[in-house]
Amino acid sequence: MYSIFIVEDDDKLAHILSEHLQKYGYDVQSAQRLNAIKAEFVDIEPDLVLLDINLPYYDGFYWCRQIRTISNVPVIFISARTDDMNQVMAIENGGDDYITKPFHLDVVLAKIKSVLRRTYGEYAQESGMEGQTRALANLFILPEKNELEYQAQRIELSKKEFTLFQKLSDNHARIVNRDELLEALWDEINFVDDNTLSVNINRLRKRLQELGIHNAIQTIRGQGYRLNVNWGEEVRR
């Protein structure tokens, strides 16, 4: 079952679209935070986005560009703007198709089926979708690029730095002991100097500081390390 993310500030229209698509077996969710579409997109992990252009905070072109920084998921614009220029802008900003309002629900359904078939079906390219990007306290984690993005800033980590961060972030609710981290970084830990892990932890701390994230990795004496994800509190307030 494909999942569809509807980004539309007209609640009535979003409800009509959602009900119609659900009748045909789609899992549909509508945007709840129109000022945080990118983060919500990562949380939902949809297979397709229906995106309005006229939105509060930022327009649909902006959000499409934001989505394109982390995913190739198909985006279909739905808008009352009927002029050619806006349709051209939709494509240039990363859109896959464009539907003008008012529209017939069967046309929307047909467009969705067509785009999904091209993206995931028999005409899809094998290299396809990224699909692994996730968010943790307003920090975007991009495994395919070994990158982290926070507050519109992005850094690329080394392979070991990223592996270390991923291990900590996957287990951020608990203390990760030193042996677990050593095993994640090296196949044979018996020949690794224990100080080597401390050096790599310090390197990762410095890289996170480049993003403005401080005191993220806590040392738990005699046990290991824990990732403190409170860096997102200030952003949420």
pLDDT of res. 208: 95
What distance in Å separates the CA atoms of residue 170 and residue 34, rounded to the nearest whole number? 27
What distance in Å separates the CA atoms of residue 17 and residue 163, rounded to the nearest whole number? 41
Contact 204, 167 (CB under 8 A): no
Digit-by-digit pLDDT tens for the chain (237 residues) are 799 999 999 999 999 999 999 999 999 999 999 999 999 998 888 999 999 999 999 999 999 999 998 888 999 999 988 888 888 999 889 999 999 988 899 999 999 998 898 888 754 444 444 446 788 888 898 888 889 999 888 999 998 899 899 999 989 889 999 888 888 877 554 545 667 888 889 999 999 999 999 999 999 988 899 999 888 554 444
What residue ranges do the domains of the chain occupy? 3-120, 134-236
pLDDT of res. 128: 43
pLDDT of res. 180: 87
What distance in Å separates the CA atoms of residue 169 and residue 156, rounded to the nearest whole number? 16
Contact 74, 96 (CB under 8 A): yes
pLDDT of res. 192: 56
| 176 CB neighbour count, 10 Å cutoff | 21
Residue 151 phi/psi, 5-degree rounding, is: 50, 50
CA distances from 129 to 45, 72, 143, 229, 235 (A): 11, 6, 13, 28, 29
pLDDT of res. 142: 87
DSSP 8-state symbol, 175: P
Domain 134-236 belongs in CATH node 1.10.10.10: yes
Superfamily of domain 3-120: Response regulator (3.40.50.2300)
